[in-house]
């Protein structure tokens, strides 16, 4: 018995924020001091490293559970699935529902409970719960779905990754330009054919790495507001990711027993273009290989980093032909990989 993805969907918010819209921001160092560079220079360097030209934000009246529901509805339709037959709903996120300008996260009840309610599912045997695992949360949710199905506890699982990071960014932090909003979802079902999850690897590093991503008040020390925003040590994360993620990807490949030459696509967390390219290059160097052309579809340029939503979103766009230069066919082997707060890494090898 294997866990097979039978439906995929995503929600890309309508509000577009281009880089030039940050020209009037007052970017500060973490001690509140000035950068010493004008915003045009800061943004130019930002684009060179991250590859991000624009990002998407949710509408003022929306919250994370709304866009999670939008993505779920598309996945359910794609799977031709009766929602009442879903055994588990797993929602990966990190900040809950945050209303515009509230600065307060609402996570009770869980987002999965809210999504189940918004989907109108009545069946009490459909169990809904959340996963808080940093950006790799959706990939972890997929491994949990695999475990439920292989153990016989479930026949059908809805796995969603959704985040509205626009509600938790400090406008005085240049890293605020990285983050965006979005949602992606899959329906996973029990299957006896050759499709499904072939191998996986997951790890959590906390000895020195636990607080590489954290929450802290604004870099503008003159503000009286005590709201905490998402913060990170970018260089430390970069070095960590290059060291640990390729190892995790190889561990998943080893468990799957698949020849590296059979890997057709890598759906990697869209965190930073240069970092993702370096991760994949190092992964292939573990096999003494050069990175194949077009192995890694990228959507970060126009969509930014929407955390748990990036992997299912890029997969959805490829599967449904919205990235014409990339395609996945029946029988192809693909990989999902992610890194994020915790510090957590994971990877899945999957036959489509």
Which DSSP string corresponds to 127-150?
EEEEE--STTHHHHHHHHHHHHHH
Q: What is the structure's pLDDT at 223?
A: 86
pTM: 0.94
Q: What is the structure's pLDDT at 331?
A: 92
Distance between first and last Cα of the chain: 15
Convert the pLDDT of each residue in 298-328 to its tens digit.
Answer: 999 999 999 999 999 999 999 999 998 999 9
Convert the pLDDT of each residue in 33-78 to its tens digit.
Answer: 888 788 889 899 999 989 999 999 999 999 999 999 999 999 999 9
- Which of 93, 172, 269, 326 is catalytic? The answer is 269
Q: Is 135 a catalytic residue?
A: yes
Q: Sign of dihedral through CA atoms 28, 34, 39, 41? A: negative
Q: What is the structure's pLDDT at 168?
A: 95
Buried/exposed 256-291: b ≥16 CB within 10 Å, e otherwise? bebeeeebbbbbbbbbbbebbebbbebbbeeeeeee
Q: What is the structure's pLDDT at 7?
A: 97
Spatial distance between the Cα atoms of 352 and 334, rounded to a whole number of angstroms: 7
CATH level 3 topology of 198-351: Peroxisomal Thiolase; Chain A, domain 1 (3.40.47)
Class at the top of the CATH hierarchy for domain 2-194 = alpha beta
- Which of 305, 326, 344, 346 is catalytic? The answer is 305
Q: What number of CA atoms fall less than 13 Å from residue 18's CA on the CB side?
A: 1
Q: Kindly report the average pLDDT of the chain as a whole number.
A: 95
Look at residues 292, 329, 296, 332 and name the one whose alpha carbon lies nearest to residue 314: 296
- Ranges of beta strands (E only) in 64-180 are 88-92, 127-131, 156-164
Q: Is 126 a catalytic residue?
A: no
Convert the pLDDT of each residue in 156-213 to its tens digit.
Answer: 999 999 999 999 999 999 999 999 999 999 999 998 888 899 999 999 999 999 999 9
Candidate from 34-43, 133-142, 256-265 with smallest mean pLDDT? 34-43
Band of pLDDT at residue 101, cut at 50, 70 and 90 = confident
Q: What is the structure's pLDDT at 163?
A: 98
- Which of 11, 94, 126, 135 is catalytic? The answer is 135
Q: Sign of dihedral through CA atoms 119, 133, 305, 315? A: negative
CATH 3.40.47.10 domain span(s) along the chain: 2-194, 198-351
Instruction: Examine the pLDDT at 265 and tell me if it is beyond 80.
Output: yes
Instruction: Examine the pLDDT at 25 and tell me if it is beyond 80.
Output: yes
Spatial distance between the Cα atoms of 138 and 90, rounded to a whole number of angstroms: 9
Q: What is the structure's pLDDT at 30?
A: 86
Q: Is 25 a catalytic residue?
A: no
Instruction: Examine the pLDDT at 103 and tell me if it is beyond 80.
Output: no
């Amino acid at each position: 018995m294997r866990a097979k993805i039978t439906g995929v969907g995503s929600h890309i918010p309508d509000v577009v924020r281009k880089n030039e819209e940050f020209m009037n921001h007052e970017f500060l160092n973490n001690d509140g001091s000035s950068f010493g560079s004008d915003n045009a220079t800061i943004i130019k360097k930002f684009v060179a490293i991250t590859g991000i030209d624009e990002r998407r934000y949710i509408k003022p009246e929306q919250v994370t559970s709304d866009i999670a529901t939008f993505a779920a509805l598309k996945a359910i339709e794609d799977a031709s699935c009766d929602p009442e037959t879903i055994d588990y709903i797993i929602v990966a996120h990190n900040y809950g529902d945050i209303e515009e300008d509230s600065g307060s996260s609402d996570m009770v009840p869980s987002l999965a409970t809210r999504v189940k309610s918004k989907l109108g599912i009545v069946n009490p045997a459909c169990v809904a719960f959340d996963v808080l695992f940093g950006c790799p949360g959706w990939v972890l949710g997929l491994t949990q779905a695999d475990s439920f199905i292989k153990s016989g506890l479930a026949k059908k699982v809805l796995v969603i990754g959704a985040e509205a990071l626009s509600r938790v960014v400090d406008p005085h932090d240049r890293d605020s330009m990285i983050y965006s909003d979005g949602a992606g979802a899959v329906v996973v079902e029990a299957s006896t054919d050759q499709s499904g999850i072939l191998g996986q690897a997951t790890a959590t590093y906390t000895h020195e790495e636990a607080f590489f991503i954290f929450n802290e008040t604004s870099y503008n020390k003159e503000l009286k507001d005590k709201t905490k925003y998402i913060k990170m040590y970018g260089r430390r994360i970069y070095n960590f990711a290059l060291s640990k993620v390729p190892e995790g990807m190889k561990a998943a490949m080893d468990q799957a027993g698949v020849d590296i030459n059979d890997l057709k696509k890598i759906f990697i967390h869209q965190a930073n273009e240069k970092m993702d390219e370096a991760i994949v290059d190092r992964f292939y160097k573990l096999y003494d290989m050069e990175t194949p052309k077009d192995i890694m579809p990228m959507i970060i340029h126009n969509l930014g980093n929407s955390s748990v939503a990036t992997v299912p979103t890029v997969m959805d766009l490829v599967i449904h032909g919205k990235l014409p230069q990339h395609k996945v066919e029946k029988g192809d082997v693909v990989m999902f990989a992610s890194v994020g707060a915790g510090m957590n890494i994971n990877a899945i090898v999957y036959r489509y």
